[in-house]
A and B are shown apart, each in its own frame.
Chain A
Amino acid sequence: MDNIVVEALIRALAVGTPLLLACLGAIINERGGVVNLGVEGMMAVGALAAFAVASSSPDANLWLAVGASMLAGAALASLHAVATVTLRANQFVSGLALALIGTGAAGLLGKKFEGLPLFNKVADWNLGGFVINPFTVAALLLAAALAFYLNSTRSGLTLRSVGENPAAADVLGVNVGAVRIWAVLAGGSLSGLAGAFLALSYRASWADNMTAGLGWIAVALVIFVGWRPLRAVLGALFFGFLYYLQFRLQGNSPIPTEVFNAMPFILVLVVLALAGLRGQQGDAPAGLGRAYVRGER
C-alpha cells in the first residue's frame, strides 16, 4: 500500500513538473495583465531547443541546453509581446497563433531529431531514499520565490499594479508597456523550461507533438489556482495525479482507453466550470486581457 502511495506521488510530481513550470510562467504574465495562450507552442520550441543542444555531442552541457530552452521560449513569446503590447492585438488570438507557430515550427525544425538518442539525460536526485527530479525541485523553489516576489517585493507590486490598474500605474510613472513585455518574456522562458524537462528528463527524446496538450492544461490551471503560485503547486500535483490514474487504470478496467485519454481535457472543462460557478474569475487581475492605451477608458 505504501508503495502505491509513494509511486503515485512520484508520478504525480513528474507530470506535475512541466505543468507547474508553465503555470508559474503564465501567472507572471497574467498578473501583469497579459494572457498568453501560446504555452503549448513555447513548450514545444523549448523542448526542441533543449534537445538540439543536449544531443549535439556526448558531453553536451546540460545547463546550456536548459538555457537554450528558456531562450527559445522567450524568443517566441517576444512575438506575442510585440503583437499585443506594442501593436495592441487581441491577446487571446495572438496566443493561439503563437501556439500554432510554436508547435508547427518545432515539428518542422525538429524532424531531424526524431528518434535520436540523448547521450546524457538529466538524472534524478536521490535525497535519502526519496528520488526527485532537479526540475521538480527547481519548480517548487520557483513557486515559493514567485509567491514572495509577487506579495513582498516592490517590483512584484509594480507588476501586479500593471495587471490590475494599468492607468493608475501609468500615472505613478510606471512604464506599463515595458513591464508587460518583460512579464511576457519571463512567462515564455518558464514555458520553455517546462519543455526542457520533457525533452531532457521526462521523455529524454524528441518527438513531434510531445507536449500533448500539457500547455493548454497549464493555461487552464492558472485560472483553477486563482493566479496564486503556491496554490499552483497543489493544482499541478492534482493534475499530475490524474495523469497517474490514467496511466494506472489503462487496460486494467472495463472503461475504454480513449476515455482516459480524454480525461484531462474533460477535467479542465469541469474545473473551469467550477471555478466559474464559485465566481473565481473575480480573482483575475482586473486589467487582464486588454491592451493598455493611455487616455482610453
Chain B
Amino acid sequence: MRFIPLASPSAARVGLITLASVAVALALCALIFVFYGVSPAEVYSTMLRGTLGDSIGLAEVGRRTIPLLLIGAGLAIAFRAQFFNIGGEGQLLLGAVFAAGTALFIPLPGPLLLPTVFIMGALGGGLWALIAALLRRLNVNEILSTLMLNYIAVALVTYLIAGPWKGKDVRGYIYTDSFPDAANLPVIAGTQVHWPTLVLGVAVALGLQWLLGRSTFGYALRVVGENPGAARYAGISSARVMTVVALITGGAAGLAGAGEVAGIHHRLLEAGQISLGYGFTAVIVAWLARGNPALCLITAPVMGIILAGGDLLKIDLNMPFRVVDVFSGVILLCLIASEVFVRNRVVWGARA
C-alpha cells in the first residue's frame, strides 16, 4: 500500500471520508458492546429514540450542545494553530468558578450582573489556558500541561465548595449558596436550554470562522499552524499567536462554564456535576469540523446526541457513563487515522 499526496482534496472527498471514519468508529464501538454483553442494535436504537425521538430528548441534546459548541469552536481555532488544547474541561471549570464568584460576591445592579458573569467566565477560562501557552514557551507540551490543569481545576472547585465558598444554608452538602435571581439565565420553558448561551455560542462559532478566514490574525494563525518555518521567515511571532489563541480557546470554554452555572445549576457545585466531560467531547466536535468553527454548528449537536445518549444508556440499559469515553476515543482515533486518506491517494501494490 502506498500513499500518493493529493494537492488539494475536494470537499466531497473530505466529507465522505469523515462520514466513513465515523461509520467505522460506530462499528468498532458495536464490537465493544458485544463484548460487554449488550446488543449494539439495542444500544444505538436506545440512543436515537431517546434523543431525536421526542421533544424531551431534543431538549436534552440541546442543553449539551451549548457547551460543546462554545468549547468546540474555540478548539477548532486552537487546532488550526497546532495548539492541542485538551484542557477544555479545566477551562470550563475555571469559567464556572469566576462566574460563580462574580454572581455570589460582587454586588452589581441587576442588568449589569449577567454580562459581567459571562465576561469573568471568559477571563477565568482564558487565563487558565494562558498558563499552558506560557509553559509551551518553555517547550512544555500543551497536551500534558492542559491535562494537568484539568486535574488542578477539579481540586480547586472541590476546595472552594467545601471550604471558603461553602453555602451557609446547605447543611451537609458541598456546594455554594444559590445565585441571586439577577444572575440566572432564562431557559426555554420546560427545558434546561438556556437560550442566551446558545445564541452566544452561535455568535462565537460564526465570529471565529470570520476571524480565521477573513482577518489578518486568522491568516497569521493559519501560517503558524501549517508552516511554522514560513511564519518565522515572515516575521510572525508564534509565541504571540499562541497567547491569543489560548485566550480565545480558553475564553470560549470559560463562557461555556459561566453558562452552565448561570443557566442550569445556579450555584457552584462538584466538578463532575458541572461538566459531563464537555471538554473532552468538544475535542471531537472540533476535529469532526476539521478545524472550521462554523461547522461546529453541525458537529456539536452530533456529539450532543452521544452525550445525551450516554445518559440514556446509563438509565435504560444500566451501562456506566464511561461508554461516552469509548465513543469519543474511538471516533477520535478513526478520524485522525483517516486523515492520511484525505490527503493522499492510495495505490495498492509495490512501487512501479
Contact = CB atoms under 8 A, between A and B. Distances in A.
Contacts of A107: 320, 322, 325
A93 B320 contact: no
A78 B307 CA distance: 27
B112 interface: no
Contacts of A275: 140
Interface residues of A, number: 47
Contacts of A109: 32, 35-36
Contacts of B326: 100-101, 104-105, 108
Given A272-B140, A276-B140, A104 B145 contact: no
Interface of A: 37, 41, 79, 82-83, 87-90, 92-94, 96-109, 111, 208, 213, 216, 219-220, 256, 258-259, 261-262, 265-266, 268-269, 272-273, 275-277, 281
B170 interface: no
A269 B143 contact: no
A93 B280 contact: no
Contact of B329 (A87, A99, A281): A99
Interface in B100-158: 135, 138-141, 143-145, 147-149, 151-152, 154-156, 158
18 contacts: A83-B333, A87-B339, A92-B84, A96-B84, A96-B332, A97-B329, A100-B328, A101-B333, A105-B326, A108-B32, A108-B320, A108-B323, A208-B320, A219-B144, A220-B144, A269-B135, A272-B145, A273-B138
B330 interface: yes
Interface string B259-296: 00000000000000000000010010001000000000
B306 to A, nearest CB: 12
Q: Is the interface of A mostly helix, strand, loop or mixed?
A: helix
B325 A98 contact: no
Given A87-B340, A213-B151, 14 more contacts: A87-B339, A89-B336, A96-B86, A100-B328, A104-B322, A104-B327, A108-B320, A109-B35, A258-B159, A258-B163, A265-B152, A265-B155, A272-B144, A275-B140
Contacts of B151: 213, 262, 265
A277 B135 CA distance: 10
A249 to B, nearest CB: 15
A259 B152 CA distance: 9
A93 B152 contact: no
Interface of B: 3, 32, 35-36, 84, 86, 135, 138-141, 143-145, 147-149, 151-152, 154-156, 158-159, 162-163, 280, 283, 287, 319-320, 322-330, 332-333, 336-337, 339-340
A265 B148 CA distance: 5
Among B138, B149, B156, the most chain A Cβ lie within 10 Å of the Cβ of B138
A83 B3 CA distance: 14
Given A108-B319, A219-B144, A261-B155, A89 B329 contact: no
